[in-house]
């Protein structure tokens, strides 16, 4: 069955994370437990920020969006990965592969830009506190949110358009557990050198520039914090260090995967696994555990819930 770009491959076979059945079972159980514990925590963060009137600052607005983006990002890969662990033949359709690739880069690009926005928010709050309420007003926050979603869309659609123009006539085995640019491009029945350069420029260069810019901005912020008075110093340092940890978790694996020519390395699958499955769910939790206001609000919310449940049981 041929389509417009001469593609004859209608499905891809995923070789998976590992060929060992024992390791697959172990990873399946670990991911399932991890999801059952961490994923509800991410939704609790979103609900806490939405329901607590005291958490209306832009910092918490962006944290709620980070939790949403990370949960959505992990859903593009992990559920199918869990199903494939239980399947003998791991197959994904051509259109399903393109769809997964689109959402992976759409949400991933949006999250990278969100971290840039969060760095800007911290810079204004710490280095220009008198201008904070003016610069980071609700309208500006929503405009930045719209811009990062649009940026993620543009980044992803470029990847998809370039891949849709490639002919795929076989083989159709992807040496990975999900569809991503480096593996898919290698299966094209044509010279992909130019396309690879464009992909590295679109994904790799953008990732690297964002990463270096974020590190530079947080270095400026931390230097400013060290020179200021002791009041609020520890809180500002803690917030910035947490942001830096999240930046490293987000951009470290992405730089490893996308800023080099698309040659397979032994560590690719492991890095991709942590980048697409583990780290996205950990990011908001790491931030929350270091943020006293959110922790206090969550405890208050859970306490109210427990009291309501006890009251309901007593009345009935």
User: Residue 173 phi/psi, 5° resolution?
Assistant: -95, 120
Find, among 212, 103, 196, the residue nearest to 153 by Cα: 103
Average pLDDT of 285-301?
76
- Cα torsion for 161, 105, 272, 93, to the nearest 10°? -50
Question: Which range has the worst mean pLDDT, 126-130, 210-214, 239-243?
Answer: 239-243
DSSP structural state of residue 11: E
pLDDT of residue 2: 44
Find, among 246, 183, 258, 163, the residue nearest to 17 by Cα: 183
DSSP structural state of residue 276: I
Q: What pLDDT, in 10s, does the model give residues 143-197?
A: 999 999 999 999 999 999 999 999 998 788 888 889 988 889 989 988 888 888 8
47 confidence band (pLDDT: 50, 70, 90): confident
Contacts of 306 (CB under 8 A, 6+ apart): none
Above 70 in pLDDT, residue 310?
Answer: no
Q: How far apart are CA 139 and CA 68, in angstroms?
A: 20
Contacts of 126 (CB under 8 A, 6+ apart): 221, 224, 225, 236, 240
Average pLDDT of 38-46?
83
124 confidence band (pLDDT: 50, 70, 90): very high
Look at the pTM and tell me if it is higher than 0.85.
yes
Find, among 135, 36, 98, the residue nearest to 28 by Cα: 36
pLDDT of residue 1: 39
Average pLDDT of 82-87?
85
Residue-averaged pLDDT of the chain: 84
> Checking DSSP bridges between strand 91-93 and strand 11-14, what pairing results, if any?
antiparallel
> Checking DSSP bridges between strand 173-174 and strand 11-14, what pairing results, if any?
parallel
Find, among 53, 48, 78, the residue nearest to 63 by Cα: 48
Above 50 in pLDDT, residue 26?
Answer: yes
Which range of 3-7, 241-245, 307-311 scores highest in mean pLDDT? It is 241-245
Average pLDDT of 204-228?
87
């Amino acid at each position: 069955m041929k389509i417009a770009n001469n593609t004859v491959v209608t499905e891809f076979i995923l070789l998976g994370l590992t060929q060992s059945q024992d390791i697959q079972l172990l990873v399946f159980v670990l991911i399932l437990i991890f999801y059952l514990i961490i994923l509800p925590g991410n939704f609790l963060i979103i609900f806490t920020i939405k329901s607590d009137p005291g958490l209306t600052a832009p910092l918490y607005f962006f944290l709620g969006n980070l939790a949403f983006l990370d949960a959505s990002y992990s859903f593009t890969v992990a559920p199918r990965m869990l199903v494939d662990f239980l399947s003998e033949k791991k197959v994904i359709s051509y259109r399903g592969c393109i769809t997964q690739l689109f959402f992976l880069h759409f949400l991933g690009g949006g999250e990278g830009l969100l971290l840039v926005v969060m760095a800007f928010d911290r810079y204004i709050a710490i280095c220009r506190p008198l201008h904070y309420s003016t610069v980071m007003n609700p309208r500006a926050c929503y405009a930045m949110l719209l811009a990062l979603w649009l940026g993620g869309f543009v980044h992803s659609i470029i990847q998809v358009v370039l891949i849709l123009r490639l002919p795929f006539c076989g083989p159709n085995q992807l040496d990975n557990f999900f569809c991503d640019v480096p593996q898919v491009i290698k299966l094209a029945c044509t010279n992909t050198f130019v396309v690879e350069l464009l992909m590295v420029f679109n994904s790799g260069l953008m990732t690297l520039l964002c990463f270096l810019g974020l590190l530079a901005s947080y270095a400026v912020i931390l230097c400013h914090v060290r020179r200021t008075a002791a009041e609020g110093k520890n809180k500002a340092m803690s917030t910035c260090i947490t942001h830096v940890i999240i930046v490293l978790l987000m951009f470290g694996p992405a730089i490893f995967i996308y800023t080099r020519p698309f040659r397979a390395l032994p560590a690719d699958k492991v890095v991709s696994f942590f980048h697409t499955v583990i780290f996205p769910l950990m990011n908001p939790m790491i931030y929350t555990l270091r943020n006293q206001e959110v922790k206090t609000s969550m405890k208050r919310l859970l306490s109210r819930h427990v009291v309501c449940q006890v009251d309901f049981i007593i009345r009935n």
